[in-house]
Structures are given as structure tokens and as C-alpha cells.
Structure 1
Amino acid sequence: MSRRMMKTKVEEKFSEFFEKWFVQLEEYLQQLLTLSNLETTMIQSEPELQAMVSRVTAHVKAYYTTKWAAAHDDVLAFFSPVWLSPLENAYLWVTDWKPSSVFRLIESLRMSHVSKMKYLTEPQRKDIEELRVKIRLEEEKVEREMERQQVAMANRRMVELARLASGGVTAGALAGHVEGLVEVALKGILCGLERMMKAADCVRLKAIKGVLELLTPMQRVDFLTAICMLQVQLRQVGKEKLSTLLAR
């Protein structure tokens, strides 16, 4: 499988940021794993646990802040990110992970005998289920907007281009009209994609924030540990697979 070698300035700059950001994420994962250890947590106070949670969530927010700034210059880079492996790209939903996957992760943690998530109370489970429904509705809203943009774009611009081509316009004038339409159409597409990407990212952040608000400090540590672990493992496997393919 070939990978595009030349990167745009945005791709190059964000790739550098992402590598550094991911190294820090791996460091936070090790700290989270230490806190998740039963013997260690016996001596941890709630403020210490919350401080760790705050550092990780701030790291996540920094990622999206940087992402949004870069996407304003080149949003297309985030719909086919060169800094991710093909395996990581295969799991993307509007440029990143799907928000509802958080709730499947919680269910898996509830089944684990070592996770504090197995001690979720009935009120916690009820609140998490209500949040899951809200997040799914938000996902559907983003998906409907994506479909609306695609349909509207195909209908309006293609019809107008066809009208110009068959309306007796001279070759030079037609070229000018077409170029103008393409420019307007492209600007509309990019603005729409940027808007949808940010909307999807906001749903992702809302899912994480919403779940964290319903958990105890130790459950928050377990939850963030699982999220970071999945991301790190997916990246490791994806890079290994890519290396194997390139070596053939």
C-alpha cells in the first residue's frame, strides 16, 4: 500500500505536533496505569487523582485546539490524515473516533474484574445511558449534515455547470464561468467540511466530559486509562502493519 510522500505545510506542521503530542499521551498513560494499580491507589488522595485527570483532559483539549487552527488553513488534511496509519484511518468518523464508542468501552470496563467501573451504581448507570442516547442523537445530526452537504453540492453545482456547457456560451467565457463556479463550490465545500469536523469534535468532547462528570475520581482514572490505552495500542498495531507492508 503506497502512502503519499509529499506533505502540505499544514500536514507537515501538524504531523510534527501530533508526534510530540502522542509521546506525551504515552507518558500520561504510564502515569494513569500507575494510579490504577490497586496498591498505589490506597495512598492516593482525591485531589491527586483529580490533578491527573485534569492534566490528561487538558492534553486532549490542546489537541483539538491545535487541530481546529490547522484545519482552518487546510481542512482536507484531516479527512485523510497522513500522520495516521491506514489502520487508524479505517476507524475514523468525520476525522476522528466515534463518540458513541465511549459507551461500548464503558460496558467492556464494567465486565472487567480489575476495573473500578464495575462498581458503577444504579444512578450512575442510568445517567450514563441517558448521556449515551443524547450523544447518539448528536452523531445523527452530524451525519445528516454531511449527507445534506453532499446532496446539495451535487445538485446545485453540477446543474449549473451543465447549463453553462449547453447554453451556447463561448469557449473563453465558459472557461471563466466554470473557473468561478469551481472556486465558489470549493470554498463552500471546505467551509462545510470544517463546520462538520468541529461539530463532530464537540460531540467527542461532550461525550468525554459528560462521562467524567458522572464518575468517581478513581473511576475517571480507569476510564481515561482505557481510552489512552486503546489509542496507543491502535497506533502501535497500525505502525507495525504499515512497516510490514512497506517492507514487502
Structure 2
Amino acid sequence: MKTLVEEKFSDFFEKWVCELEENVQQLLSVSTEKPNEAELQALVSRVTTHYKEYYTVKWASAHEDVLAFFCPVWLSPLENACLWVTDWKPSMAFQVIDTLRKTIVVPGASILDMSEEQVKKIEELRVKIRLEKEKVEREMERQQVSVADRRMVELARLASRVRNGDGMGRVDVLVEVALKGLLGGLERVMKAADCVRLKTLKGLLEVLNPSQCVDFLAGICTLQIRLRQRGKKRESQKENRMVEEPKLV
């Protein structure tokens, strides 16, 4: 059974993905045309605003129930398997860039035909993001270790000795205080990871020109949508197999 936060965010996420699909269609259609720079920038701004809305709602919901985002019920097992601290991996954005640079559309030119200066800036950003990612991972590890730190162990030992009465109530209060600290730490780690994701997108979009931004956003949004479609398809096939399997009488 879903919690209230899970229910509300699941509804929001479904609508958000539907709007993302609409944005992808526009990105793909405009990439085959020859719009002016102002039109390209307006479209890029629309997509980035859509992502900002996602994180605004995510952070507000996580403040109520951060654990829901460490095991999101609105995602398929396949999508969950690809997560890094509650969301997509920053390295995925660079992989999209690398793939687009290797995709040749005309002899001597790729979809993302970048200058040497752009390539240099992206490599510098890649290194910077990798360092920030490692910092988040160290903090996440620290939070996980804190579950088994001395205070939590002492609480567990105390709880095992107390059978009932006022003593148990005191233990409950102490456990609640400890868990509140842990959940607050997880919320900070999640936000830090999201900031790395947003810095990745912002940094790449600042390096690319408007036309390249459109191609990049089309690529990364399409990847996210395809992963979701594949994950839901696998779940549907799994459910069908379970229904079709003969039952032992």
C-alpha cells in the first residue's frame, strides 16, 4: 500500500513524464527544421523549466518522506536498478554527449559537431562532476555507517533489556530522535546528488550552442523515456507470465 507522499508523487510523476514526451516530440521535430536561435532558446528553456519543476516537487515531497525516494514505487525495477542516490546518474549525460559525437549524419560531421574549445570545456566539466559525485558518495556512505554507529548500537542494547513500562517509552523517544537525524542526513545527501545532476545539465548546456542543446536534450530525454517504457514492458510481461502459469491443485 502506498503512503500519501508516494501516491501524490506517483500521480505527479506520470503527468510529468507525459509532458516530457511532448517536449521530446518538439525537440525532435525542431532538430529537423531550421528555426531561428530565439526559437531554439525558448524550447531549451521550456525543457529545463520542466526539469526544475520536477526537482521542486521532489524536494518538497522528500521533506515529508525522504525514504520514499530511496525506493521509489513509481519506477519499475529496471529504472530503480539504474539509479544513483534516488535519480539518474550524472555520467549518463556525458554518455549521451559521447554517443551524439560518434553518430555521423553526413561525411565528416556528427550530430554534435563540436569545436576543440567545446570538447575541452566538456572534459573539464566531466572531471569536476566526477569529483562532486565522489563527494556525495562518501557522504552517503557516512550516513549508512551511522545506522550502526555507537549510539544506535547502545539504543538497540537498551531496548533488548527493557520489557515494558516507562523504560520502553524512553527508548522509543531516543530511537525517534536518532532516526530523525538519519532521515535529515539522507535528505541532505539526496539534495546534494540532485545538485550534481542539475550542475551537469547546466554546465553542458552552457558549453553547447542552441542547436546542439536541442540535440542533447532530445537525446537524454529520449533515453529516460525509453528506459521507462522498457521497464514497464518487462513488468507487464512478468505479470502476464504469472497469470498464465498453471496452478497446482
TM-score, with length taken from structure 2:
0.91
Match of 1:224 in 2: 217
Deviations 1:179-199 (A, max 9, x none): 122101210111011111100
What is the SS of the residue equivalent to 2:165?
A: helix
The answer to whether the 8 Å contact 1:164/1:174 transfers is no
- Do residues 134 (structure 1) and 125 (structure 2) align? no
1:79 and 2:73 matched = no
Corresponding residue for 1:237?
A: 230
Does residue 49 of structure 1 match 2:40?
A: yes
Cα deviation for residue 116 of structure 1 reads: 3.1
User: What code does the residue aligned with 1:235 have?
Assistant: R
> Quick one: distance in 2 between partners of 1:75 and 1:51?
34
1:23 corresponding residue in structure 2:
18
Q: Size of the alignment, in residue pairs?
A: 237
Deviation at 1:148, TM superposition (A): 1.0
Contact 2:37 2:210 in 1 (8 A): yes
Matched to 1:66, the amino acid is: V
* Structure 2 CA distance for aligned equivalents of residues 170 and 7 of structure 1: 32
- Unpaired runs of 5+ in structure 2? 242-249
CA distance in 2, matches of 1:169, 1:15: 40
Contact in 2 for aligned 1:116/1:218 (Cα 8 Å): no
Percent sequence identity is 68
Q: Is 1:151 aligned with 2:145?
A: yes
Aligned residue for 2:104, secondary structure, equals: coil
For 1:211, the equivalent position in structure 2 comes to 204
Determine the structure 1 residue equivalent to 2:27: 32
**Whole-angstrom CA distance in 2 between matches of 1:45 and 1:240:** 38
Distance 1:246 1:49 in 2: 42
Are positions 1:125 and 2:116 aligned together?
no
CA distance, structure 1, for counterparts of residue 226 and residue 159 of structure 2? 52
Cα RMSD of the aligned pairs, angstroms, is 1.6
Distance in 2, matches of 1:165 and 1:224, equals 52
Q: What's the counterpart of residue 185 of structure 2? A: 192
Q: CA deviation at 1:165?
A: 5.5
Amino acid at match of 1:67: K
TM-score with structure 1 length normalisation? 0.91
Q: Aligned partners of 1:94 and 1:77: how far apart in 2?
A: 12
Change (3 A) 1:107 1:165: same
Structure 2 residue aligned with 1:116: 111
Counterpart Cα distance in 2 of 1:53 and 1:210:
14
Kept in 1: contact 2:20–2:221 (CA 8 A): yes
CA contact (8 A) 2:44 2:214 kept: yes
